[in-house]
């Protein structure tokens, strides 16, 4: 019996060290330690032995079992390492190779427009600020002068999250304006930021999707005024629509977070069925803006006797549709490769003020 054990040990050791891959190793494991395996078979024999025999053979067989398990585990570790090395070698990508045109993906129009906006505002000295998609009720509403009972809350078709233990409900931010709050609370003026990002409202048709994109702008300093707002928006829209001049119309409006508030229209023509920004006899509403309400400054810890400024908020999807001539917003989020191929942008053509926004 002892002999049988030692020859089995030798045999298994040789088999294990000869196993070239995980599948072969697994076969050996089943053939030895598996229910019907050779080692298990010997263990079953213990039952028919005399107590004296069992006293010797029990520990010997258990030793064999442990030993076999150990060498299987050791070999497994080696083989795993080998397989990983092989995979790393086969999946290696040389990132220094030139991009292959036919294999390259394309930049989504939304990303393109966000890059264009960031580039234009960078030229005007704005930083890009960010905030989370899941916001507190305070940042999304209350700090922006939209308290609990305010009717403006109804306009937002808000997606609420489940309340936490204290009963506070977070929201999917309904606009990018909470980034204003975050910025004013964390930075000393002068502040000059844009905040592009995703926003959410429970609304869906050809021009509304439950997730959409906005860009927020905020400038706070000691003597920032409406003239600065108008000049900034003119410079932005001129650069964005790549025209020599734009004419803006500022219409009085209402937003809880600005006072006074205005909606901004840009002069355009719809001749020939397409929108042309820059001249013409029509007006296109393009964004909301105003002077930051003193209540908002106060809620964010800024002294309204010292600081003032302007803010604006603009739908990015709409800007993209206007500039690149798409008419159904829903197609933006269908991930249809044919659409992306048609409307997408080349990955290496980054928009620059000097080189052009869209080539
Ligand atoms: N937050 C507004 C919305 O989503 C847009 C907006 C209007 C933002 C005026 C502003 C602003 O900063 O001043 O409808």
pLDDT digits (tens, 9 = 90+) for 61-92: 999 999 999 999 999 999 999 999 999 999 99
pLDDT score, position 163: 92
Q: What number is the average pLDDT over the span 236-244?
A: 94
Q: Whose CA is nearest to atom 2 of ligand 1?
A: 313
* Residue whose token pair is 């606009």: 175
100 vs 54, which has greater pLDDT?
54
Question: What region does 223 belong to: left with phi over 0, alpha with psi -120 to 50, or beta?
Answer: alpha
What pLDDT was estimated at residue 351? 83
pLDDT tens profile 174-232: 999 999 999 999 999 999 999 999 999 998 887 789 999 999 999 999 999 999 999 99
Nearest atom (ligand 1) to Cα of 180 = 12
Pocket test for ligand 1, best of 177, 216, 230, 308 (most atoms within 8 A of CB): 177
Closest CA to 309 of 72, 162, 126: 126
User: What's the pLDDT at 106?
Assistant: 85
Using the mean position of ligand 1's atoms as its centre, give its distance from the Cα of residue 144 in Å. 10
Model confidence at 109: pLDDT above 60: yes
Query: How far does residue 256's CA lie from ligand 1's centre (Å)?
Result: 9
Measure 263 CA to ligand 1 centroid, in angstroms: 9
Contact 123, 354 (CB under 8 A): no
Instruction: Please write the tens of the pLDDT for every residue from 36-59.
Output: 999 998 888 888 888 988 898 889
Give me ligand 1 centre to Cα 245, in Å.
Answer: 24
Ligand 1: centre distance to CA 163 (Å): 26
Q: Structure pTM?
A: 0.72
3.30.930.10, 2.60.40.10, 1.50.10.10, 2.40.50.100: CATH of 109-341? 3.30.930.10
- CA-proximal residue: ligand 1, atom 5 (nearest): 313
pLDDT for 345: 87
Measured CA to CA, the distance from residue 29 to residue 193 in angstroms comes to 63
What's residue 102's pLDDT?
56
Residues with CB under 6 A from ligand 1: 175, 177, 216, 255, 258, 288-290, 311-313
User: Using the 8-state DSSP alphabet, how is residue 352 labeled?
Assistant: B
Give nearest CA residue, ligand 1 atom 4: 175
| For the CA of 175, the nearest atom of ligand 1 | 4
């Amino acid at each position: 019996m002892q002999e049988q054990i030692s020859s089995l040990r030798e045999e298994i050791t040789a088999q294990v060290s000869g196993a070239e891959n995980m599948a072969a190793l697994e076969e050996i494991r089943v053939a030895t330690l598996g229910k019907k395996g050779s080692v298990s078979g010997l263990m079953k024999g213990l039952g028919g032995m005399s107590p004296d025999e069992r006293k010797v053979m029990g520990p010997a067989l258990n030793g064999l079992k442990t030993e076999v398990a150990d060498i299987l585990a050791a070999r497994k570790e080696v083989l795993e390492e080998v397989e990983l090395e092989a995979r790393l070698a086969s999946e290696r990508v040389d990132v220094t190779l030139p991009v292959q045109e036919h294999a390259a993906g394309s930049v989504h129009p939304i990303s393109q427009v966000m890059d264009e906006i960031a580039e234009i505002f960078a030229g005007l000295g704005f930083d890009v600020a960010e905030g989370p998609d899941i916001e507190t009720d305070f940042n999304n509403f209350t700090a922006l002068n939209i308290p609990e009972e305010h009717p403006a809350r109804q306009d937002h078709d808000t997606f609420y999250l489940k309340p936490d233990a204290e009963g506070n409900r977070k929201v999917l931010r309904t606009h990018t304006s909470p980034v204003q709050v975050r910025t004013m609370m964390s930075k000393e003026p002068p502040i000059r930021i844009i905040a592009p990002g995703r926003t959410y409202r429970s609304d869906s048709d050809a021009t509304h999707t439950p997730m959409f994109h906005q860009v927020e702008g905020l400038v706070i300093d000691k003597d920032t005024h409406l003239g600065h707002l108008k000049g900034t928006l003119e410079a932005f829209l001129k650069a964005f629509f790549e025209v020599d001049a734009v004419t803006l119309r500022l219409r009085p409006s209402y937003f809880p977070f600005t006072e006074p508030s205005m909606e901004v229209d840009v002069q355009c023509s719809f001749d020939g069925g397409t929108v042309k920004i820059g001249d013409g006899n029509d007006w296109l509403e393009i964004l909301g803006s105003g002077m930051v309400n003193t209540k908002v400054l106060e809620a964010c810890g800024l002294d309204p006797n010292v600081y003032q400024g302007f803010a604006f908020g603009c739908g990015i999807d709409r800007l993209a549709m206007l500039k690149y001539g798409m008419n159904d917003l829903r197609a933006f989020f269908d991930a249809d490769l044919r659409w992306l191929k048609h409307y997408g942008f080349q990955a290496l053509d980054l928009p620059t003020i000097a080189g052009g926004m869209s080539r």
